[in-house]
Structure 1
Amino acid sequence: MKQINIGGVPEHFNLSWYLTLKDGEYKKENINLRWHDYYGGTGAMCKALRAKEIDIAVILTEGIVKDIIDGNPSKIVQTFVQTPLIWGVHVAYNSSYKTIKDLQCKKAAISRYGSGSHLMAYINAQNNNWDLDKDLNFEVIKNLDGAVEGLTNQKADYFLWEKFTTKPLVDNNTFRRIGNCPSPWPCFVIAVREDFIKSNKEDIKTILKIINSTTKEFKNIPSIDKTIANRYEQKLEDVQEWLSLTEWSQELISKKTLNNVQKELFALNIIPEIVDYKKLTHKL
């Protein structure tokens, strides 16, 4: 049985992977798919792909596009979640900041440079017409626990993270959410190391076939809202709202969409150039 390593964030978006693994669907196809949680998010997964610690990553679109252009020898093989990610803009509960305008020139907590929380801080700044050179400052906090500590102890002033993941921290008065910043593109893609694609095409196709059949029917799974609420310690009404807003994909990301991502990242000086579609993607 072939062992294949895959990484992703331990969030509700990836429950379909857990369900297919639990049912032993990959083992039936002679694939020992091993899931690895990356609490540090996109930056940590980019590093793991480069180090060959994982073969596949379920990863934020903007993060992997930046890292491939920066030399990560991986390719996007499919969109995983078609809808944008809704990033909440959070401050410490007792903070004096009331609006996003109050955060201009303040310090953003980010998991890593090149991570989604880092890149979306630029998008948020652009949305609010800030000076990208002067009005952005960063404090690296590694993960959500680090953000709690960083904001509570005033090492940083605000933090962007997926709003439903952080909702329990808003509900228990650790954070206050003072705004939202949706990503202007499909949020998650599936990326695979180039050397792994070359020698394991059929196995990758099999894995995608299994996960895609589950995501197609994900919303119809009986009591899926209750399962998510219990597993991720979220309120049922929040899960139901999230399910109503989220659409999965079984297709390769389009050239037009990737061009839009690159144009945005280039305008923000996050990437040095706009590259050809084939440099970023591989059609299986």
Structure 2
Amino acid sequence: MPLRIGYVREHFSSPLLQFAKADEGRTITLVECPSGTGQLISRLTKDEIDVAIALTDPLISGIANGSQAYKLVGSFVATPLNWAVVSGKDSKYEKISDLKDTTIGISRIGSGSQTMAYVMGFQQGWPSESMKFQVNNDIRGLINSVNDGTTSAFMWEWFTTKPWLDSGEVRFIGSVPTPWPSWLVAAQPSADAEALKEFLTTLSNYVRAFDSADSRATKNVEFIKSAFGYGEEDIKAWMKTVGYPQDCLEIPKNVIAETLSVLEKAGVVKSPEGGFSVDNFVEPKVVKLT
């Protein structure tokens, strides 16, 4: 039975889409989760997917806060994610500091849009307990909320949101890069370890091919333009910022430890007595901690 792979259909997922097209449903089936990592985690919990390719911070904070629904099994994107801070086209907010004590739009509780809002607040010196959120499900709901004034701003990946900036529907008032590599792979504890290793080994081949200098200079731009409709200049600008791991079956220990450290300072997670054990976050039958 093919592994059910939950993912967000964004330019970052290009190597996965290339894998799935060649695979033709033999070993994997893609399950699109347009609302992002909060939806991916929810579907893992409900046994609607076996694997999630999702944002580092919500995956780690979910386990830190007690979730038993999944473990980390691999890496996907090795570079930070640049989150745009997005406000309405006619809103009064001009910079991040203007957002203090306002309501921030998020896609779901526990999503990257929420954890990064806490990180933004931490950087600004705002108490985490004072932050207010409104759930708006997806990018369309988030855009509507900043334009009807029910929220002040929301956070979403820069290049994914840029078409709405270019059309004049929203304004960018700042950006907050993640202090960690942006995407990891998680799986249900019941998922077959050998099938997961086979999936991640093959995914590594597609990731390395996509990440190669030759592909970056030639076919990647055309693939992303065809799959997502982004402009060539935006694609080339994004390609200069993104890097992938050489082996998706490895996670550096410091990625987990340093992410936990920032999330704890931001008030997203609370360290247990004696501190967190990195080993508790991964499935050792699948992934290697480096």
Do both proteins adopt the same fold according to a TM-score greater than 0.5, normalized to the shorter chain?
yes
Matched, 1:207 2:192: no
Inter-partner Cα distance in structure 1 for 2:280 and 2:99: 37
Please state how far the C-alpha of 1:101 moved relative to its aligned partner: 1.4
Counterpart position of 1:11: 10
Counterpart position of 1:62: 57
Letter in 2 for 1:214: Y
The answer to whether the 8 A contact 1:77-1:282 is kept is yes
Q: TM-score, normalised by structure 2?
A: 0.91
The answer to whether the 8 A contact 2:118-2:267 is kept is no
Q: TM-score, normalised by structure 1?
A: 0.92
Counterpart position of 1:244: 240
Inter-partner Cα distance in structure 2 for 1:180 and 1:229: 24
Counterpart position of 1:42: 37
Q: Which one of 119, 123, 129 corresponds to residue 133 of structure 1? A: 129
| Moved beyond 4 Å, runs of 4+ | none
The aligned length equals 275
The answer to whether the 8 A contact 2:128-2:267 is kept is no
Matched, 1:262 2:260: yes
Q: Which runs of 5+ in 2 are unaligned?
A: none
Deviations 1:132-166 (A, max 9, x none): 233x2111101101111111211111010000000
Alignment of structure 1 residues 83-98 onto 2, 5 Å: 83-98=79-94
What secondary structure sits across from 1:45 in the alignment?
helix
What is the aligned-residue RMSD (CA, Å)?
1.5
Q: Which runs of 5+ in 1 are unaligned?
A: none
Inter-partner Cα distance in structure 2 for 1:168 and 1:125: 26
The answer to whether the 8 A contact 1:26-1:210 is kept is no
The answer to whether the 8 A contact 1:46-1:72 is kept is no
Letter in 2 for 1:237: E
The answer to whether the 8 A contact 1:117-1:160 is kept is yes
Counterpart position of 1:277: 278
Please state how far the C-alpha of 1:223 moved relative to its aligned partner: 2.5
Deviations 1:15-73 (A, max 9, x none): 1111111112773xxx2x11011111111111111111100000111111111232233
Please state how far the C-alpha of 1:229 moved relative to its aligned partner: 2.4
Inter-partner Cα distance in structure 2 for 1:129 and 1:103: 12
Letter in 2 for 1:117: S
Letter in 1 for 2:146: L
The answer to whether the 8 A contact 1:26-1:207 is kept is no
